[in-house]
Amino acid sequence: MAHRGRLVPLIVACPLFLQNLDTSVMATALPSIARSLNVQALHLNLAITSYLLSLAIFLPVSGWCAERFGPKRVFCCAIAFFSLGSALCGAATSLPALVLFRILQGLGGAMMVPVGRLILLRSVPPAQMVAAMVWFTVPPAIGRMVGPLFGGAIVTWTSWRWIFLVNVPFGLLGIALALWFIDDRREDTAPEPFDTGGFVLLALGLIGLLGALETAGKALVPGWVSWSVAGAGALAMGLYLLRSRRMASPIIDLRILRHPTYFASIIGGTPLRIAIGASPFLLPLMLQLGFGLSPLDSGLLTVATALGSLATRTVMTQAIRRIGFRTLLLATTTLTSLFYASYSLFRPDTPHVLMFCTLLLGGLVNSMGMVALQTLGFSDIPKPRMSHATTLSSMAQQLSLSFGVVLGASLVSAAACWHGGDAAHLTARDFSPAFAVIGAMTLLSLFFFVRLDKDEGAGLR
């Protein structure tokens, strides 16, 4: 039983491994891809945010599909589609083609993570949830760990296209393990009818808001177009909120936010997730474009954050048992803010050992906070509402990551203009304000975590 308690979390975390490997490898390879496709490096955030936007749009469908066709079947099909999209990205010859294939890749990614988390929550008893969530973080940490190294080695010794093609064998392995070891558990209740109108409103709202955010300040379209798109997106989201309140079975039931721990996880954790999206995008660019390091040297440094995340497994369970969820969240959020802000002090002559140790500790405290938040957030959700909870959680996570990438790129561009330069010629000092702002922003999560009861989640320890 203990063996299965570790095996199932590891298998359902394979999609997170693929996503983190994909994102961290691509972040390291951004300058090389930009030179190959003859575009500015910062414009390649389109390839990242288009994938995250695709995830956010199609995530609402994942819960309904899991209930309709079975979590195991949807999980395996999603990995297959993600792998196919990765192969097409490896064949892209222009930025528009890469963005299009990233959107197709996002269709598969939208199903992988929430359905995998749903399988985990239905397979593991509450008393074993903390340990299961810790094991759930191991494959993603490995993906973040090998990603920068793998990306740096690929860019140094071969073509950047292999950063996408490498997903294919890992995807096939994930499908084989899922088919062999995971039971296809379904709820006894009949699946709810698909909320087509709600899906359309959510899709339009997300496209409008994130699309306007992506084009703002980049001279891609006139300013009035960005504002109009943002207004249309906000209107669509408002209409969805009004509509969902009158429906018995909306595609995303926002009434689950009435659970305090889930509310703290989704809303309170948003600033932390935004920082998680911005930092892996900014660090490789700062080390390569700002400090002049090679892709391989950059990967050797940024791998420290993944090593710190991987070390969480050794201390997480004891930390929760000794000080509880609330205290741990307050402490790790404060430390995460300080570490992100400290990245703004990095300079080209900063010793690499010092940068590595700082990134290592930052990855450790950040991972501890996110594991605690994810575990506590689902503790009060009834099983019949679990698919809604996992879908909304994944959607909020991807929206935050997307916003983090866009925010990071915007802050660096603004700093470059302030310093008299431009986005095409970035220097080391252009990155410092971005990390300072991101570090300060994470402190906003404290306003939500401090309201939690000190004994919250006691049954999970």
CB 334 within 8 A of CB 442: no
Domain 2-183+251-460: give its CATH code.
Answer: 1.20.1250.20
Integer angstrom CA distances of residue 302 from 176, 281, 368, 371: 31, 11, 18, 21
> How does pLDDT run along the chain (461 residues), one tens digit per residue?
445 556 777 777 777 777 777 766 776 777 888 888 888 776 777 787 788 678 777 877 887 888 888 888 898 999 998 999 989 998 888 888 998 899 888 888 888 877 887 887 777 776 677 667 767 766 776 776 677 677 777 877 888 888 888 888 888 888 888 888 877 665 556 667 888 898 889 888 877 877 777 666 555 667 778 788 889 989 998 999 899 888 877 888 888 888 889 999 999 999 998 988 888 888 988 998 889 988 788 888 888 887 887 777 677 778 888 888 899 999 999 999 999 999 999 999 999 999 999 999 998 898 888 888 888 888 888 877 787 787 788 778 777 877 887 788 888 888 888 887 776 778 888 999 999 999 999 999 999 999 988 877 666 65
How far is CA 31 from each of CA 35, 91, 386, 429, rounded to the nearest angstrom? 6, 18, 41, 18
CA distance 240 to 159: 44
Contact between 2 and 9 under an 8 Å Cβ cutoff? The reply is: no
Contact in structure between 459 and 296 (CB atoms under 8 Å): no
For the chain, which residues make up each domain, given as ranges?
A: 2-183+251-460, 195-250
In angstroms, the CA 266 to CA 190 distance is 27
Distance CA(453)–CA(445), nearest Å, equals 15
As a dihedral over the C-alpha atoms of residue 100, residue 102, residue 105, residue 110, rounded to 10 degrees, the angle is -110
The 10 Å CB-count burial string (b at 16+, else e) for 198-213 is bbebbbbbbbbbbbbb
- Distance between CA atoms of residues 285 and 299, nearest Å: 11
